[in-house]
């Protein structure tokens, strides 16, 4: 792939918001300048094809969690109907490689500052950021190691550790790509600070991401060890709704901060647009999924509510990214890593090792913080694994997980052929209802524009 990468950052403190850009000529001489450059790394995650929009919506659109509403604008219809192809693709190569390049610029110049905790922290953050960027591209374009017996030998994504703007790199194996990600995160976990806050990588966030990477790689014991290294706690029922209006950070390990006025990245408009007092729906919660949320589940009202369009049609609308308190503009901080996921990673890893008592303990830590009056059913064996998968679906809805979970479990996407888009299951059903396990479309096509730049870059099978 030919990577032509630009650089921008902001001159505010690292814990501030990514509003201003400055020339790269002023970077890399002091800790403060390095921190400004690091702010640019995090700003790169807010691209519209990435955590500024598509990465939080398309994994649910590709799966069975949402349904297209004819009253909308057909946004992402080609994704919902699995009609993507090289010239109509999800181009999530540019933004992650921008993040990677910005991180590499920091690493190449890091010896301009003195050794010490601040330098170590910057190295840890940069290495974790480029690991996340590669991981996210792999989930879209490559097989997941647990997906099939030959996944490790299939095509991964290029590992870029330099800043040559004309670098050409072919695709290594999935095994080599995951090996790089894991080694980067292991190194970062020893370097990054404990107290960076939720707006940047900290030790808990790195270990959380490491638990996810190990889980995807089928390294279940290591996934448990990484999860156990996370010391933060799950958001309780009392504060959980506030996480989605940015009035609480409980249980959030990594998010990308933005200012509603100055940045205004409308993550939530992937799902609908407000036309007060009604809405223009793009997607609604699938009727089957909506019915899986119990009345005692705090997530039901935190994630969705019944709303109408201008014609009076009612939908189970997605309000998880609706906006900050009092807002309905879809502008909220992008949540990337949360403690609840870590416990679900640990529960699944224990279950895969037939350690059912430990798996149940981890699962119940999530459920006791989501259901009022929760009493554990005490599942074991296959019933416990099914319960873990269910809670993963319920908890991580609209956060960029469902399609990749089905993919790594080698399960089919199955939607109802009769349930429609309205709140009671009536309305228009999905036109496409099944993507069988193992179908080549679980690996999305490399965009044609990338192949035009570098014809030798390997396209995925089937396209």
pLDDT digits (tens, 9 = 90+) for 79-110: 999 999 999 999 999 999 999 999 999 999 99
Cβ-defined contacts of 430-437 (< 8 Å, 24+): 430/67, 430/68, 430/80, 431/81, 432/80, 432/81, 432/82, 435/62, 435/82, 436/412, 437/406, 437/410, 437/411, 437/412
337 φψ region: left (φ > 0), alpha (ψ -120 to 50), beta (else): beta
Using the predicted structure, report yes or no on whether residue 11 has a pLDDT greater than 80. Answer: no
187 part of a folded domain = yes
Could you tell me the pLDDT band of residue 301, with boundaries at 50, 70 and 90? very high
Residue 357: exposed, middle, or buried by beta-carbon count in 10 A (0-12, 13-18, 19+)? exposed
412 part of a folded domain = yes
Query: Which segment of 215-219, 440-444, 448-452 scores lowest on mean pLDDT?
Result: 448-452
221 part of a folded domain = yes
> For all residues of the chain together, what is the average pLDDT?
93
Mean pLDDT comparison of 13-27, 132-146, 155-169, 446-460, highest-scoring range: 132-146
Query: Which segment of 309-318, 326-335, 363-372 scores lowest on mean pLDDT?
Result: 326-335
Say which CATH number the domain at 406 has: 1.25.40.390
294 part of a folded domain = no
Residue-range definition of the domain harbouring residue 409 = 24-242+335-453
- What is the model's pLDDT at position 303? 97
* Signed CA dihedral, 11, 12, 15, 21: sign only: negative
- What is the model's pLDDT at position 10? 33
Q: How far apart are CA 146 and CA 433, in angstroms?
A: 24
390 part of a folded domain = yes
CA 403 to chain CA centroid, nearest Å: 11
pTM exceeds 0.85, yes or no: yes
CA 135 to chain CA centroid, nearest Å: 10
- What is the model's pLDDT at position 42? 97
Q: Which residue has the higher pLDDT, 442 or 168?
A: 442
Helices 117-141/94-109 angle, 10° precision: 160
Residue 375 corresponds to which tokens in the numbers above? 């009493």
pLDDT digits (tens, 9 = 90+) for 222-281: 999 999 999 999 999 999 999 999 999 999 999 999 988 888 899 999 999 987 789 999
- What is the model's pLDDT at position 15? 42
Q: How far apart are CA 7 and CA 22, in angstroms?
A: 9
CA distances from 416 to 65, 265, 362, 413, 431 (A): 11, 33, 31, 10, 10
- What is the model's pLDDT at position 175? 98
- What is the model's pLDDT at position 326? 86
Residue 267 corresponds to which tokens in the numbers above? 């993550």
Using the predicted structure, report yes or no on whether residue 124 has a pLDDT greater than 90. Answer: yes
In our burial notation (b when 16+ CB lie closer than 10 A, e otherwise), range 409-430 reads ebeebebbeebbbbbebebebb
329 part of a folded domain = no
CA–CA–CA angle 272, 285, 148 (5° rounding): 115
pLDDT digits (tens, 9 = 90+) for 341-356: 999 999 999 999 999 9
Residue 3: exposed, middle, or buried by beta-carbon count in 10 A (0-12, 13-18, 19+)? buried
Q: How much is the average pLDDT of 24-38? A: 83
Q: How far apart are CA 188 and CA 184, in angstroms?
A: 6
302 part of a folded domain = no
- Give the bridge partners for 66, in sequence order: 285
- What is the model's pLDDT at position 21? 47
Q: How far apart are CA 106 and CA 455, in angstroms?
A: 30
H helix runs in 30-147, sequence order: 31-44, 54-61, 77-80, 94-109, 117-141
Q: How far apart are CA 62 and CA 81, in angstroms?
A: 8
Using the predicted structure, report yes or no on whether residue 13 has a pLDDT greater than 50. Answer: no
Count of structural domains, the chain: 1
88 part of a folded domain = yes
Using the predicted structure, report yes or no on whether residue 9 has a pLDDT greater than 50. Answer: no
- What is the model's pLDDT at position 37? 95
């Amino acid at each position: 792939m030919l990577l032509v990468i630009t650089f921008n950052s902001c001159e505010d403190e690292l814990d501030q918001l990514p509003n201003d850009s400055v020339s790269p000529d002023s970077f890399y001489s002091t800790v403060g300048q390095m921190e400004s450059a690091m702010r640019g790394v995090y700003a790169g995650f807010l691209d519209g094809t990435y955590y500024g929009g598509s990465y939080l919506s398309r994994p649910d659109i590709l799966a069975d969690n949402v349904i297209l509403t004819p009253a909308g604008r057909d946004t992402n219809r080609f994704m919902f109907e699995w009609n993507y192809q090289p010239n109509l693709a999800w181009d999530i190569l540019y933004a992650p490689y921008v993040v990677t390049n910005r991180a590499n610029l920091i690493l190449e110049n890091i010896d301009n500052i003195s050794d010490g905790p601040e330098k170590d922290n910057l190295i840890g953050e940069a290495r974790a950021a480029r690991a996340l960027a590669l991981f996210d591209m792999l989930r879209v374009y490559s097989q997941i190691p647990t997906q099939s017996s030959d996944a490790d030998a299939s095509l991964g994504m290029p590992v870029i550790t330099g800043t040559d703007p004309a670098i050409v790199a072919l695709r290594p194996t999935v095994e080599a790509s995951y090996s790089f990600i894991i080694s980067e995160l292991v190194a970062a976990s020893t370097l990054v600070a404990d107290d960076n806050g939720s707006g940047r990588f900290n030790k808990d966030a790195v270990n959380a991401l490491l638990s996810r990477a190990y889980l995807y790689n089928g390294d279940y014991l290591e996934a448990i060890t990484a999860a156990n290294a996370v010391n933060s706690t799950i958001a309780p029922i009392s504060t959980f709704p506030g996480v989605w209006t940015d009035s609480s950070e409980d249980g959030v390990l990594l998010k990308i901060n933005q200012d509603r006025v100055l940045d205004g990245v409308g993550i939530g408009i992937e799902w609908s647009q407000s036309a007060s007092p009604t809405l223009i729906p793009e997607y609604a919660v699938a009727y089957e999924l909506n019915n899986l949320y119990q009345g005692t589940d705090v997530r039901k009202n935190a994630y969705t509510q019944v709303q109408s369009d201008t014609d009076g049609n009612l939908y189970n609308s997605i309000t998880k990214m609706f906006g900050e308190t009092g807002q309905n503009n879809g502008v909220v901080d992008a949540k990337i890593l949360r403690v609840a996921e870590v416990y679900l990673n640990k529960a699944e890893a224990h279950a895969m090792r037939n350690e059912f008592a430990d798996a149940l303990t981890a699962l119940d830590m999530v459920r006791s913080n989501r259901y009022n009056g929760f009493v554990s059913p005490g599942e074991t064996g296959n019933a416990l694994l099914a319960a873990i998968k269910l809670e993963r679906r319920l908890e991580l809805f609209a956060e960029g997980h469902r399609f990749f979970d089905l993919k790594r479990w080698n399960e089919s996407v199955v939607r109802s052929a009769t349930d429609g888009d309205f709140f009671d299951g009536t309305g228009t059903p999905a036109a496409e209802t099944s993507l069988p396990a193992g179908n080549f479309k679980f690996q999305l096509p490399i965009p044609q524009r990338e192949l035009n730049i570098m014809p030798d870059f390997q396209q995925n099978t089937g396209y």
